[in-house]
Amino acid sequence: MSSFLSDVIKNIRRGCELGGFPEEFYELVSKPERIVIVKIPVKLSDGKLKVFEGYRVQHNSALGPYKGGIRFHPELSLDDDIALATIMTLKNSLAGIPYGGAKGGVKVNPKELNVKDLEALCRGYVRALKDVLGEYLDIPAPDVGTTSQMMAWMFDEYSKFVGRNAPAVFTAKPPIIHGNPVREYATGFGCAVISKEAAEKYLGGLEGRRVSIQGFGNTGQWHAYFISKMGAKVVAISDTSGTVYDPEGIDVELAMKVKNTTGKVINYPRGEKISDPQAALYVDADILGPDAIERQITLENVGKVKAKIVVEGANGPTTPEAELKLTERNVIVVPDFLANAGGVVMSYLEWVENLQWYIWDEEETKKKLEDIMRKNFLRTYKKFEELRSTGKVKTMRDAALVLALERIYEAMKVRGWL
């Protein structure tokens, strides 16, 4: 039966076949190097003791220390964590940053814990896993259900154990304790940089191009904000409350203010209001940012998508079958592990700052992030066009997969693992 993990492994298999890599490499790269499962006892504020289960999956370290977020989610399974850690190995490799891949998590609904209990759980997670974490070993960050505040508690707990300030062990911390202000918008900014590059290659430029954003959360808001600053016209935005469509262009800053104060994009005062949150996928736009959640563009609705470029801000918003349909219509799909890498690239920059006890200012950091994202896109674009012309691949995702696996393969070979 197909699952998130089996889909990810299938991708690795396809990438190995396309790249012509040997079976031993597939064996190494399709399985985690180490999985740690821990029990975390927490004395809750109501006096009861609750034992949580926590994971850290260290998938691959050929290119550098393990790197990946910590997810707090009630339905998290170990298999999901393995799948997410595998994706991190690919994402970090494609991004050209010196990291392997990892992911951690706790099976918990963080919304059901009060602040005190959440802090106790974060500290407990670090206590249980401190021996396998470290600035040159494994560097976690936030993911779904975890925040920069939680990274601050984890950093503090880890520092107590090692008897010194150890900021480089966790990234996306609050700016006051060795974080960087760019992290707040890094993913959406990265999506905008990639959208601009893709528009230059496939649409002759970004200026005046119409953009639609599904999902007006952290990724979608900043994607919309920066792409409009770069000269595009955002014509639609959506969240679970519905879609706002205005062919004349949406005032993104006003929309952000409305969304962040009232919780709903449909309270935006202008434009047409459509109750369907998916309507943003179908409006007349040149570029579409599916920036909400997974599995939004499927075989059922792919025929209604009008955009010429899809930049996947969310993880897994397009199903593989729908992607093939889009490709048949010459729509370019920029895959998630290229498009939304801005967050982890920013984490890398924060880590570099922390290791040196050096602080770059916001503009300098943003410029570095932009340069890395642009280079990543251009490298992938070049590979895609090269492989596409020989008929070897149809999608940019497959070209990105080959490129990511190539770097891991070369690192393993030169280290003597293969």
Active site residues: 103
Scanning 102-110, 234-242, 267-275, 299-307 for contacts with ligand NAD by CB under 6 A, the matching segment is 234-242
Report how many residues bind ligand NAD under the rule CB under 6 A: 21
By CB under 6 A, residue 313 contacts ligand NAD: yes
d(CA 95, CA 103): 17
Task: Name, in order, each residue with C-beta under 8 angstroms of 226's C-beta and a sequence gap of 6 or more.
Answer: 185, 188, 189, 191, 192, 193
Torsion of CA 181, 187, 188, 190, to 10 degrees: 100
Shortest CA distance to 308 belongs to which of 418, 209, 221? Answer: 209
Shortest CA distance to 285 belongs to which of 213, 338, 333? Answer: 213
Closer of 40 and 296 to ligand NAD (Cβ): 296
Enter the tokens of residue 65.
Answer: 């220390």
By CB under 6 A, residue 240 contacts ligand NAD: yes
**Contact positions with ligand NAD (CB under 6 A) in 184-203:** 187
By CB under 6 A, residue 215 contacts ligand NAD: yes
**Contact positions with ligand NAD (CB under 6 A) in 140-179:** none
Question: Which of 36, 293, 324, 352 touches ligand NAD (CB under 6 A)?
Answer: 293
In angstroms, give the least distance from the CB of 338 to ligand NAD.
11
Closer of 19 and 289 to ligand NAD (Cβ): 289
- Return the residue matching tokens 């014509």: 235
Question: Which of 29, 139, 193, 292 touches ligand NAD (CB under 6 A)?
Answer: 292
By CB under 6 A, residue 267 contacts ligand NAD: no
d(CA 109, CA 153): 18
By CB under 6 A, residue 105 contacts ligand NAD: no
By CB under 6 A, residue 77 contacts ligand NAD: no
By CB under 6 A, residue 78 contacts ligand NAD: no
d(CA 259, CA 277): 14
Closer of 58 and 243 to ligand NAD (Cβ): 243
Contact, 53 vs 107, CB < 8 A? yes
Question: What DSSP line would sit under 342-400, residue for residue?
Answer: HHHHHHHHHHHHHHHT----HHHHHHHHHHHHHHHHHHHHHHHHHHHHTTS-SSHHHHH
In angstroms, give the least distance from the CB of 50 to ligand NAD.
26
By CB under 6 A, residue 216 contacts ligand NAD: yes
Residues making contact with ligand NAD (CB under 6 A):
187, 214-220, 238-240, 277-278, 291-293, 313-315, 340, 343
